[in-house]
Structure 1
Amino acid sequence: MRAEEEEAAGGEVRAGPGSRGRRAVHVASGTRLGDAHPRQEGPADLRLVPPALAAWATAALALDASPEVAVGVALVCLVLAGALWGVGRRGHRVPGDGASPAEVPGAAGGPGAEGSRAAGGPGAEGSRVAGGAGAGASGRARGDRFPPGRGRWVRATLAAVLLCAGGAAVSAGLHGADVRRGPVPGLAREYTTVTAEAEITSDPRLTRPRVRGDRVTPDAVLVHAEVRRVEGADGGATATRAPVLMIVDVDEGAGGPDGSPWLGLLPSTRVRVTGRLAPALAGGDRIAGVLRVRDGTEPTVVAAPSAAQRLAGRLRAGLRTATDGLPADARALLPGLVVGDTGRITPELDEAFKETDLAHTLAVSGSNLTIILALLLGPPGLAQRVERRGLAPRLGISLRTTALLGAGLTLGFVVVCRPDPSVLRAAACGAVVLLALATGRRRSLLPALATAVLLLVLYDPWLARSYGFLLSVLATGALLTVAPRWSAALRRRGVPPRLAEALAAAGAAQALCAPVVAVLSARVSLVAVPCNLLVEFAVAPATVLGFAALVTAPVAMPVAKALAWCASWPAGWIAGIARAGAALPGGGVDWPGGWGGALLLALATAATVLFGRRLLGRPWLCGVCGVLLVLAVVQPPPLTRVLTGWPPPGWRLAMCDVGQGDATVLAAGDGTGVVVDAGPDPALVDHCLRTLGITRVPLVVLTHFHADHVAGLPGVLRGREVGAIETTGFEEPPAQVEFVRREAAARRVPVGRAVAGERRRAGSLDWEVLWPPPRARPGPLPGGPAAPVPEPEGPNDASVTLLVRSAGLRMLLLGDLEPPGQRALARSPAAALLSGVDVLKVAHHGSAYQDPGLIRLVAPRLALISCGADNPYGHPAASTVAALRAGGAAVLRTDRDGALAVVGTGGALRVARD
């Protein structure tokens, strides 16, 4: 029996004439002689990498080119490749001899030599040496008319690069021209109102809420579609195929965002709708225009979705139903883990996953498919062996039938998860990598990845400009190239094998992907590697149980609910790790954005790796560095206070820097603070409270319901003990009122109303509510007759106003009161308490709308203004700052001075800056 057959049969291979070659392969692989599949290690096979990279780069550049230019580039590449091929064939031909080296068995580059070298057959070592000497002698005897083998390899590689670049140029040129052709781009440039017949190509999704000034941007449904027929204002109809992004305004009166009929549309549905076309915001996009549908227009369905999409929609809906009764995080996360359905992911949870670099778990990735296929095939290294495992061999299914089942499962995966580019990328990468693993030869993994990249870029050139595609390829490449070497290095230093593999995989993926993430977010996560390690073991059970619930939901919903309940435990663990990692004060570091910042981070990563190799030999130094890193991430308040001076000892009031909004904290004891307003961003107010060391909040006062004061409420509630929430009785705007109630109910925090005359105390802190009055009533004017107190004219004039006393200091917080409200306050019974306060929180971010009489009455020693840098409103107004300074007040503002903390007792008063 040949050595290869003996090895495949699991028998022992005896030392023979070619044993030295096989032993050399074992030595290079780092495995002991006799290990299964000894040829799986060795030098990386990079032959397909240059063609794949050439196709990638060419596609990214050629998408904006005209078809003529793309065809011209392809022709030039073809001619050059043909020239290289012709030169190579002439170089192979020997004058006077009709045989080329490829036809001479055992000659350099011939099939015999290549085969013997690859297989390590008998005499391989000797023939390699003898062949080398003979080839050298023959070359010298014939005047070096045989070109060296390296030259042939270089010419073949260059020819492949040129051919792939030419093919990518043609594909990208055609795809780019397809977007630009037809009437839609021209109509979009003219902002024309059209009636279009479009086919839905993606799942509709709601936009994430964004704070703009004092309001949240209106909800809208985003739908990718392909316009098949368009009618302009003149009534003429034109058939076309133009991809567009449809933005559909949500009618608040029709059940709110979740009740929009657009959210129920399935891909492949054809609808007829009227809207206004506009150009895409960014040039070079894969859409011909944006179709804006206003006034809550309902879609008119022209053609029902395909049978496959109806089945996929039924499965996805069944999974959502099966997860309805789960805890909030698991209910939101499980559909995202299984089929990429992120519709239930809250902005807060989404931000937590981004902060910890776990966002890849929310999107469909190749790992999802790999987990399911591994369940079918068993361990990949045993897929072609007699002792293979998995469900298929246990059911008596042959390997060929198993491969067909895997292909069918992959196709079903694409249909259920939608054939978006990201899903196609995940399916291709997951399938080819697993099939390459199934061969038992790791050297085939890198060529498999390069092949996947090449085919995907040729199929969909727009992927060449996708950051998601780049991150996916980098992560997979890191796992195939860098991770095995790092794992081996860790094992040599005594790290357990499984832990070494996990550490190497997470570290390698982070090292290669972090520069690209920095381009997108201008931030580097310091907790990404530990967070990815902690969630790794939970991803597989959550995915497998989630897929089982997906399949069983249409036929046995109780079983699906039970499976979903089981999956909720690992899913909840993943969400908990994301939240905990994002909550760490030093979990992320701001980093320069753009490709310059990416290059800087790549250099810093390389330096860290080189330094880390030296550290591995010094355990005590590793421990010191680890402790320092933990302290930098956790940032214990006592240590932070010593190093940074923030927060200052004995602080009484802190104004957080939350951008264009308000968030104030009143010290009420060790780790305790009363929060007045929450700002527009949960992450910013949460960061402020953590740096202040606030873990307990007896009361949150929301002065009014504008978004720049309440949208950050989830950040206040995150991980803290909150006693109650008090708000104004003027409940407008309704959407933000409902938001506050929903957030409070989710965490079981009671909500009450603050009215004038109410007094409270927390520790050494006490405060009194001065405004708004419970109802309109007469009130005494200072030194004059009684006058009616008007009803508030809007949310600003209904702001809760507090007079705070702490350590002998009197502090007045005006919310967003405007001149009518300020004048009414000055005429109210509380006017006698306003004179000569120590600290004034200036109303409405220091806008020009201030009552000079109230400023003169209050006459503060210190005026604090909360506003955002470069805000579009011009806050604070120069006139307001001048009036305050004219009254003798020192004026500080968060847009220039950052977070501010007031320190003082009695007459002493000073301010610290973060």
Structure 2
Amino acid sequence: MLLCAAAAAASAGLHGADVRRGPVPALAREYAQVTADVELTADPRLTRPRLSGDHMAPAAVLLEADVRRVTRRGGPVLSTRTPVLVIVDVAASRRGRWLSLLPSTRLRVTARVVPALDRGDRVAAALRVRDGEEGAPEVVGAPSAPQRFAGRLRSGLREATDGLEADARALLPGFVVGDTSRVPAELDEAFKATDLTHLLAVSGANFTILLALFIGPPGLAQRAERRGLARRLGIPLRPTALAGGVLTLGFVIVCRPDPSVVRAAACGSIALLAIATGRRKSLIPALATAVLLLVLYDPWLARSYGFLLSVLATGALLTLAPRWSAALRRRRVPPRLAEALAAAGAAQAVCAPVVAVLSARVSLVAVPCNLLAEFAVAPATVLGFASLATAQVAMPVARALAWCAGRPAGWIADVARTGAALPGAGVDWPGSWPGALLLALATVTAVVLVRRMPRRPWLCAACFVAFLLVVVQPPPLTRVITMWPPPGWRFTMCDVGQGDATVLAAGEGAGVVVDAGPDPVLVDRCLRALGITRVPLVVLTHFHADHVAGLPGVLRGRAVGAIETTTFGEPEDQAEFVRRVAAARRVPVSRAVAGEARRTGDLAWRVLGPPPPAPGGGPGSEGPNDASVTMLVRSGTGAGAVSLLILGDLEPPAQRALLRSPVAAGLRPVDVLKVAHHGSAYQDPDLIRVVAPRLALVSVGAGNPYGHPAPSTLAALRSTGATVLRTDEDGAIAVSGTAGELRVAAGD
């Protein structure tokens, strides 16, 4: 232990010196503009676009690299070897050139050097490269031959999967080589909510499958009856270990040396060494040795949550899972099912406290989702690697193998989405280490109780049914318990945070959806609670992210007739997002036209705006907010019909233009008003007086930084006699009844 501690201190000191030495740290403190030659040490990656207000924050290309030469304008050229993070803010149309770069490539960049965000980070500084300074990367040194070969393999796999369905095309490269560049944000969130993210990071499971195919089951690897491809090819034992070592090295190069990959390769290498030397393999010492050597080689792994989770999961599979599996078999659980349940349960029990620190949430569906996904992982991985291997020599064969692998990959995507959409899929938990300790104690308590419960089968059945009801929350039962949604509801404003999503009842199980909010999970959950399975029309009032980013959640598992949008196609990236999502689900997209009138069942509506854009610009074409689709809706027939005016995010100029518009001529008081722009202060008082709503609904996020809804807007609405309800305080809001007797119910 003293020797290990001394070695660890020496290794950490040497790695820390790499960060502090040389000219780069001093240049970062001065925020200097430099020209630098950098050598990439990892594959480029694209940051996930984040919702910032009503816009998506632009993504940037991140490059981990070592600075080899650096110079200031007019200064000397300085040689060094300092790790940095290169952040490239480049237009979407030119990102492909940066993302196609391979590790070991040398680039020359003009950038501003800024300090690292964390003083304990493994990089000495960040190099900010702005769009316009570097339209394309200036390559001054080609990548190494192994990296070029690995790059060709990965690009071949991407080409082989190009013709697959969207989910399989996105996931299969992730399962095989950890390439998640095609995985959409909503699917990534579904994997996080169900604790399936480890499938997108190549890990020991992938390598174990490959190694088992080659050398056979580990328990038979040194016996005469050993199986595997090596045995069938007649390869002796020690050459088998040597060939396995080559396979391990190729696996690390092709799948990139991420923490989980390196840990899996190290454990596999020790297992191969045991085979080559004829010594009996012990998995626990192998794991301990691998972890020790890796942390001594790269002390930064000690701070990696991914490495920690990988080691914890492997340790759980080696220690807890066999005991739990034996206990389940003693209780007459089939052996294969017992092993799967024990593996999923043990990994989740050990890793859940760490995951809670990262996400401040505990998934209640992780074990069943991992169990359902496990049976598809092996075929997807094996067929995916077969496609990777054959793409360079026979692309038609590679495409056929990729198509076969796409079936189990699609199944895993369905499991993730279904699990994430369940109302009780997860619970909030303190995101701190005391919270992790509390969860660990709760897990131990639950395990102790579960061990005693088999003696009381009726109690087991009752607990299982209760857990199932909490997670699934079937609508018929929840309606009885919560009285939500109210019978005969006409309009519902979903609680989707700082955004808009309104549902208009259009018959049993059907609803017209106006806007989709910022979060696919939240809008999907709202529609599930309302029992909506058919959506004749989705109306997107404008293309701001807080109105359209949740569109995948509306389309998930529902029959959708069409999508109707505004005529103003800005912001361009979010308009393109809508078109891309609609095309993937084969849903037609059209534009709303002022004066358009439509009806479905007892629901009718008329589009009041925006007006067609004038050749030289004009009202309705000055920006996305003022181009919002405006709708006057009537639900019901005769004198009891309830009217609703939906204003999108109209601001005062467009609101005044609406009052003057011939299409809106004769606009009279309405029963319900969807207040424009989340109740911001920018409202036209004349419009509020003319429509004089009896009920005003404000869709707004709790604690939003904009001060919505504005006190002046609330006062103006109440001065007309309107009752104001808001989603940040009342939750989802449903309107029912008739014009003569409106009734309102809140979701929570």
TM-score above 0.5, yes or no = yes
- Contact 1:697–1:720 (8 Å) recurs in 2: yes
Structure 2 equivalent of residue 873 of structure 1: 706
Asked if 2 retains the 8 angstrom alpha-carbon contact of 1:679 and 1:709, the reply is yes
1:482 to 309, 314, 320: 320
Matches within 5 A, 1:813-852: 813-852=646-685
Q: Judging changes above 3 Å, is the alpha-carbon distance between structure 1 residues 791 and 483 closer, same or farther for their aligned structure 2 residues? A: closer
Q: Aligned to 2:40, which of 192, 200, 207?
A: 200
Q: Deviations over 1:368-419 (max 9, x none)?
A: 1111111111111111111111111222111111010111110111111123
> Retained in 2: the 8 A contact 1:657–1:866?
yes
The counterpart of 1:904, out of the listed 714, 737, 746, is: 737
Q: Name 1:793's counterpart in structure 2.
A: 622
Aligned counterpart for 1:290 among listed residues 98, 120, 126:
126
Do 1:429 and 1:449's aligned partners in 2 also have CA atoms closer than 8 Å? yes
CA distance in 2, matches of 1:301, 1:723: 49
Match of 1:182 in 2: 22
Q: Is the 8 A contact 2:103 2:147 kept in 1?
A: yes
8 Å contact 1:369–1:431 — kept in the other structure? no
Tell me, yes or no, if the aligned pair for 1:663 and 1:677 is still in contact at 8 Å. Answer: yes
Q: What residue identity is the alignment partner of 1:652?
A: R
SS in 1 for 2:738: coil
Identity of aligned residues (%): 76
The answer to whether 1:386 aligns with 2:204 is no
Q: Which residue of 1 aligns with 2:406?
A: 568
- Output the CA distance in 2 between the equivalents of 1:420 and 1:243: 16
Match of 1:122 in 2: none
- Give the Cα separation in 2 of the matches to 1:905 and 1:546: 58
Q: Shift in Å at residue 195 of structure 1?
A: 0.9
Bigger Rg, structure 1 or 2 = 1
* Residue 274 of structure 1, aligned match among 107, 110, 113: 110
Partners in 2 of 1:503 and 1:435 — Cα distance? 31
Of 468-477 and 632-641, more deviation after overlay is shown by 632-641
Structure 1 counterpart SS, 2:455: coil
Match of 1:50 in 2: none
Spell out, residue by residue over 1:759-804, the C-alpha distance to the aligned partner (whole angstroms, 9 max, x if none).
Answer: 2222222211111234669xxxxxxxxxx98453222111111111
Instruction: Give, in angstroms, the shift of residue 589 of structure 1.
Output: 2.1
| Equivalent residue number for residue 264 of structure 1 | 100
TM-score of the pair, normalised by structure 1: 0.78
Give me the whole-angstrom Cα distance separating, in 2, the residues matched to 1:727 and 1:715.
17
Query: Displacement, 1:516?
Result: 0.9
Q: 1:813 to 1:306 in 2, by over 3 A?
A: same
Deviation at 1:630, TM superposition (A): 2.0
Q: Distance in 2 between matches of 1:436 and 1:876?
A: 67
Determine if contact 1:221/1:249 at 8 Å carries over to the other structure.
yes
Deviations 1:7-54 (A, max 9, x none): xxxxxxxxxxxxxxxxxxxxxxxxxxxxxxxxxxxxxxxxxxxxxxxx
Change in CA separation of 1:441 and 1:475 when aligned onto 2, cut-off 3 Å: farther
Tell me if structure 2 keeps the 8 A contact 1:357–1:525: yes
Q: Is the 8 A contact 1:437 1:445 kept in 2?
A: no
Structure 2 partner of 1:228: 68
Counterpart-to-counterpart distance in 2, 1:571 and 1:488: 30
Matches within 5 A, 1:458-857: 458-774=296-612, 790=619, 792-807=621-636, 808-857=641-690
Secondary structure in 2 matching 1:904: strand
Q: 1:558 offset after TM fit, Å?
A: 2.1
Question: Contact 2:613–2:621 at 8 Å: present in 1 too?
Answer: no
For residue 305 of structure 1, report the CA deviation from its aligned partner.
0.5
Separation in 2, partners of 1:568, 1:444: 36
SS in 2 for 1:901: strand
SS of 1:166's partner is helix
Mark the CA change 1:910 to 1:183 in structure 2 (over 3 Å): closer, same or farther.
farther
Maintained 8 Å contact 2:619/2:626: no
Change in 2 beyond 3 A, CA 1:599/1:442: farther
- Are residues 1:333 and 2:145 paired? no
Mean Cα displacement is larger for which, 283-292 or 308-317? 283-292
Residues 281, 671 of structure 1: alpha-carbon distance in 2 compared, 3 angstrom cutoff: farther
Choose the corresponding residue for 1:173, options 13, 17, 20. 13
Q: Aligned partners of 1:913 and 1:225: how far apart in 2? A: 53
* 1:860 to 1:488, Cα distance in 2 relative to 1, 3 A: same
**CA deviation after TM superposition for structure 1 residue 514, in Å:** 0.9
Q: Distance in 1 between matches of 2:658 and 2:7?
A: 74
Aligned to 1:402: 240
Q: Structure 1 residues 420 and 492, CA, compared in 2 at 3 Å: closer, same or farther?
A: closer
TM superposition shift of 1:684: 1.7
Per-residue CA distance 1:679-727 (angstroms, 9 max, x = gap) = 1221221122122221111111111111111111111111111111111
CA distance in 2, matches of 1:679, 1:440: 61
| Deviation (angstroms), 1:443 | 8.4
Cα displacement (A) at 1:587: 2.0
Structure 1: gaps spanning 5 or more residues: 1-160, 778-787
Amino acid at match of 1:372: L
Matched, 1:447 2:280: no
What is the CA-CA distance between 1:620 and the residue it aligns to? Answer: 3.1
Deviations 1:301-360 (A, max 9, x none): 111101111111111111111111122211111111111111111112211211111111
CA contact (8 A) 2:174 2:201 kept: yes
Partner of 1:119: none
Partner of 2:695: 862
**RMSD of the TM alignment (CA)?**
2.1
Would the alpha carbon gap of residues 650 and 279 (structure 1) be closer, same or farther in structure 2, given more than 3 Å must change?
A: farther
Query: Is the 8 Å Cα contact of residues 271 and 281 (structure 2) preserved in structure 1?
Result: no
- Aligned-partner Cα distance in 1 for 2:323–2:370: 19
**CA deviations over 1:715-765 (Å, ceiling 9, x no partner):** 111111111111111222222221111111111111112122222222222
- In the TM superposition, residue 218 of structure 1 has moved relative to its aligned partner by 1.8
* 1:648 CA displacement: 2.2
Looking at structure 2, the residues matched to 669 and 888 of structure 1 have their Cα atoms a distance apart, in angstroms, of 31
The separation in 1 between residues aligned to 2:444 and 2:284, in whole angstroms, is: 22
Matches within 5 A, 1:339-354: 339-354=177-192
**Superposition deviation, residue 188 in structure 1:** 2.0
State whether residues 222 and 275 of structure 2, in contact with CA within 8 Å, keep that contact through their aligned partners in structure 1. no
Q: Which amino acid aligns with 1:495?
A: V
CA-CA distance at 1:653 after TM superposition: 1.6
Q: Deviations over 1:461-481 (max 9, x none)?
A: 111111111111111111111
Shift of 1:533: 1.5
Equivalents in 1 of 2:123, 2:568: separation in Å? 44
In 1: Cα distance, 2:280 partner to 2:699 partner: 58
In the aligned structure 2, how far is the partner of 1:237 from the partner of 1:642?
75
CA contact 1:367–1:430 (8 Å) conserved in 2: no
Look up the SS of the partner of 2:112 in the other structure: strand
| 1: CA distance, partners of 2:502 / 2:677 | 14
Partner residue, 1:214: 54
| Residue type of the alignment partner of 1:288 | A
Matched-pair contact (CA < 8 Å) for 1:380–1:438: no
- Structure 1 counterpart SS, 2:38: strand
Pairing 1:61-140 to 2, within 5 Å after superposition: none
Report SS of the residue matched to 1:271.
strand
The equivalences for 1:27-42 within 5 A come to none
